Amino acid sequence: MTEARKHRSLTDPTAMRALAHPARLAILNRLQAEGPCTATEVAEVIGVTPSAASYHLRMLAKYGFVEDAPARGDGRERLWRSSSVGLSVAPDPDDGPDVRSAKEFLIKALRDQAADEVTRAMENMERESLEWREAALFNRAVLLVDADELKRLNERIDELLAPYKTTVRDRADAPPGARIAEAQINLFPRARRRPHGLPSDA
């Protein structure tokens, strides 16, 4: 098993807005899930032309999200892989307006992509084997915690998931039957609901 990657906290508004493009998020997801590939291979999966895939890959590389991968075969094709540094994005009280706006934009794009994965998984669940249906979990829990407890819980969950991440786990070490799965974790303080007020008699 390889060592866990360091994480890069995103703070550049231009880089975050570049990453938030749906096609680029799909490309990065493809590289993280399946490993190095060419622009043509990416294009076939995400539904764009090879030239468009090449453009998006170059933009991702410009901001350090992807990088060249070692060549295979005769070395004529350019291979890409996700960056060797993991990414994280989170609101910070010290964020300026531009950074805050870019983070919100990227987080929403990531959440939209995550919701799409859940929808596709649910639509496909009947076609899954019994063992995979029993292993899957779509859960929601309401917690009573303080800020420090929520932070520690996040750290513990990350520690549990880390050895299984595709960017960390050597595929040769995975057991037979291992396949790409996804964990979606959201830990946040609920916003207080404002009273709707009484309906007007007018």
pLDDT tens-digit series, residues 12-29: 999 999 999 999 999 999
For the chain, give every domain's residue range.
7-136
pLDDT tens, the chain, 202 aa long: 344 445 678 889 999 999 999 999 999 999 988 889 999 999 988 899 999 999 999 999 999 999 999 988 777 889 999 986 778 888 888 999 999 999 999 999 999 999 999 999 999 999 999 999 999 999 999 999 999 999 999 999 999 999 999 888 888 999 999 999 999 999 999 988 877 766 655 4
DSSP annotation string for 116-141: HHHHHHHHHGGGS-HHHHHH------
Query: In the beta sheet, which residues pair with residue 67?
Result: 81
Write down the pLDDT at residue 135: 96
DSSP bridge pairs for 82: 66
Q: What share of the chain is helix, strand, coil (3-state, %, to 5)?
A: 50, 5, 45
Token reading at 123: 């639509």
7-136, which class in CATH? Answer: mainly alpha
Q: Both tokens of residue 90? A: 């989170």
Residues 9/88, Cβ–Cβ less than 8 Å? yes
Are the C-beta atoms of residues 67 and 80 closer than 8 Å to each other?
yes
- Strand, coil or helix: 86: strand
